[in-house]
Amino acid sequence: MTELHPALRENIRLLGEILGDCIREKPGPEWYERVEAVRQAAKDDRMQESGSGQRLAELLASLTDDQLVPVTRAFNQFLNLANLAEQYHGIRRHREPREQEPDESVRGTLARLAAQGVAPDRLHECVRDMRMEFVLTAHPTEVARRTLIMKYDEMSACLQRLDTDDLLPEERELEVGRLRQLITQAWNTDEIRHERPTAVDEARWGFAVVENSLWQALPEFLRELDGALVEQTGEGLPIESSPIRVASWMGGDRDGNPNVTASVTREVLLLSRWMAADLFLRDLQDLRAELSMWQASPELQERVGGHREPYRALLSELRNRLLATRDWAEEAVRGSTEAPPEVMLDSAELIEPLQLCFDSLVMCGMESVARGPLLDTLRRAHCFGLALVRLDVRQEASRHASAIGEIVDWLGLGDYQQWDEAERQQFLIRELESRRPLVPRNWAPSAETREVLDTCRVIAEHPAEALGSYVISMAAQPSDVLAVILLLREAGMQHPMRIVPLFETLADLDHAPEALRALLELDWYREYTGGQQEVMIGYSDSAKDAGQMMAAWAQYQAQEALTRVAADYGVHLTLFHGRGGTVGRGGGPANRAILSQPPGSVNGSLRVTEQGEMIRFKFGLPRVARRSFNLYISAVLEATVAPAPEPRPEWREMMHTLSDEAVRSYRGLVRETDQFVTYFRQATPEQELGKLALGSRPARRKPSGGVESLRAIPWIFAWTQMRLMLPAWLGSDAALDRALEQGNEPLLNEMIRDWPFFSTHIDMLEMVLAKADLRIVSYYEHKLVASDLRGLGEMLRERLRGCVHNVNRLKGQEELLTQQPEFAHSMRVRNTYTDPLHYLQAELLQRDREAEGRVPENVEKALKVTMAGIAAGMRNTG
By the 8 A CB rule, do 1 and 825 touch? yes
pLDDT at 554: 96
Whether 194 sits among the annotated catalytic residues: the reply is: no
Q: Rounded CA gap, 735 and 665, in Å?
A: 8
Band of pLDDT at residue 826, cut at 50, 70 and 90? confident
Q: Rounded CA gap, 576 and 595, in Å?
A: 15
pLDDT at 86: 86
Please report how the helices 732-741 and 649-670 are oriented relative to each other, as an axis angle in degrees rounded to 10: 130
| Closest CA relative to residue 461, chosen from 350, 345, 347, 348 | 345
Band of pLDDT at residue 1, cut at 50, 70 and 90? very low
pLDDT at 258: 92
Is 101 a residue whose pLDDT tops 60?
A: no
By the 8 A CB rule, do 518 and 533 touch? no
Q: Rounded CA gap, 541 and 708, in Å?
A: 10
Continuous H helices in 684-771: 712-721, 726-729, 732-741, 745-754, 756-771
Continuous H helices in 491-574: 506-520, 523-529, 540-546, 548-568
Is 665 a residue whose pLDDT tops 90?
A: yes
pLDDT at 713: 73
Residue 530 gets the label, from left (phi > 0), alpha (psi -120 to 50) or beta, of: left
Is 764 a residue whose pLDDT tops 60?
A: yes
What is the mean pLDDT of the segment spanning 6-24? 94
Write phi, then psi, for 136 (nearest 5 degrees).
-75, 125
Choice between 614 and 588, residue whose per-residue pLDDT is larger: 614
Indicate the average pLDDT of the chain.
91
Weakest mean pLDDT among 93-102, 199-208, 608-617, 774-783: 93-102
| Closest CA relative to residue 871, chosen from 253, 213, 191 | 191
Burial letters 141-156, b for 16+ CB under 10 A, else e: bbbbbeebbebbbebb
What is the mean pLDDT of the segment spanning 735-749? 98
Band of pLDDT at residue 96, cut at 50, 70 and 90? very low
What is the mean pLDDT of the segment spanning 545-571? 96
Band of pLDDT at residue 50, cut at 50, 70 and 90? low
Weakest mean pLDDT among 43-52, 522-531, 543-552: 43-52
* CB contact set of 168 (below 8 Å; sequence gap of 6+): none
Weakest mean pLDDT among 523-527, 547-551, 873-877: 873-877
pLDDT in tens, 316-375: 999 999 999 999 999 999 887 789 999 999 999 999 999 999 999 999 999 999 999 999
What is the mean pLDDT of the segment spanning 795-802? 98
pLDDT at 98: 40
pLDDT at 589: 74
Band of pLDDT at residue 148, cut at 50, 70 and 90? confident
Choice between 431 and 830, residue whose per-residue pLDDT is larger: 431
Band of pLDDT at residue 878, cut at 50, 70 and 90? very low
Write phi, then psi, for 647 (nearest 5 degrees).
-65, 140
Q: Rounded CA gap, 630 and 221, in Å?
A: 8
pLDDT in tens, 376-408: 999 999 999 999 999 999 999 999 999 999 999
Catalytic residue selected from 94, 462, 544, 577: 544
* CB contact set of 755 (below 8 Å; sequence gap of 6+): 644, 645, 647, 651
Is 4 a residue whose pLDDT tops 80?
A: no
Cβ atoms within 10 Å, residue 44: 13
Q: Rounded CA gap, 508 and 535, in Å?
A: 12
Tell me what percent of the residues of the chain surpass a pLDDT of 90. 76
pLDDT at 256: 82
What is the mean pLDDT of the segment spanning 740-765? 97
Is 699 a residue whose pLDDT tops 60?
A: no
Cβ atoms within 10 Å, residue 724: 26
Which range among 495-504, 691-700, 855-864 has the greatest average pLDDT?
A: 495-504
Q: Rounded CA gap, 768 and 686, in Å?
A: 20
pLDDT in tens, 214-228: 999 999 999 999 999
Write phi, then psi, for 538 (nearest 5 degrees).
-90, 135
Number of residues in the chain: 878
pLDDT at 796: 98
pLDDT in tens, 532-542: 999 999 988 88
Band of pLDDT at residue 829, cut at 50, 70 and 90? confident
What is the mean pLDDT of the segment spanning 28-49? 89
DSSP 321-359: HHHHHHHHHHHHHHS--PPPTT---SHHHHHHHHHHHHH
pLDDT in tens, 465-511: 999 999 999 999 999 999 999 999 999 999 999 999 999 999 999 99
Is 609 a residue whose pLDDT tops 80?
A: yes
Band of pLDDT at residue 854, cut at 50, 70 and 90? confident
Band of pLDDT at residue 877, cut at 50, 70 and 90? very low
**Cα 754 from chain centroid?**
29
pLDDT at 793: 97
Q: Which helix (H) or strand (E) holds 536?
A: strand 532-538
Q: Rounded CA gap, 869 and 861, in Å?
A: 12
* CB contact set of 395 (below 8 Å; sequence gap of 6+): 254, 255, 452, 455, 470, 471, 472, 473
What is the mean pLDDT of the segment spanning 633-656? 96
Whether 139 sits among the annotated catalytic residues: the reply is: yes
pLDDT in tens, 247-301: 999 999 998 889 999 999 999 999 999 999 999 999 999 999 999 999 999 999 9
Catalytic residue selected from 94, 139, 838, 861: 139
Tell me what percent of the residues of the chain surpass a pLDDT of 70. 93
Is 849 a residue whose pLDDT tops 60?
A: yes
Q: Rounded CA gap, 265 and 394, in Å?
A: 11
Is 83 a residue whose pLDDT tops 90?
A: no
pLDDT at 822: 82
| 862, burial (CB in 10 Å: exposed 0-12, middle 13-18, buried 19+) | buried
What is the mean pLDDT of the segment spanning 576-595? 70
Band of pLDDT at residue 140, cut at 50, 70 and 90? very low
By the 8 A CB rule, do 240 and 380 touch? no
Is 102 a residue whose pLDDT tops 50?
A: no
* CB contact set of 820 (below 8 Å; sequence gap of 6+): 767
Which range among 65-74, 99-108, 613-622 has the greatest average pLDDT?
A: 65-74
Band of pLDDT at residue 876, cut at 50, 70 and 90? low
Q: Rounded CA gap, 483 and 841, in Å?
A: 48
Cβ atoms within 10 Å, residue 531: 11
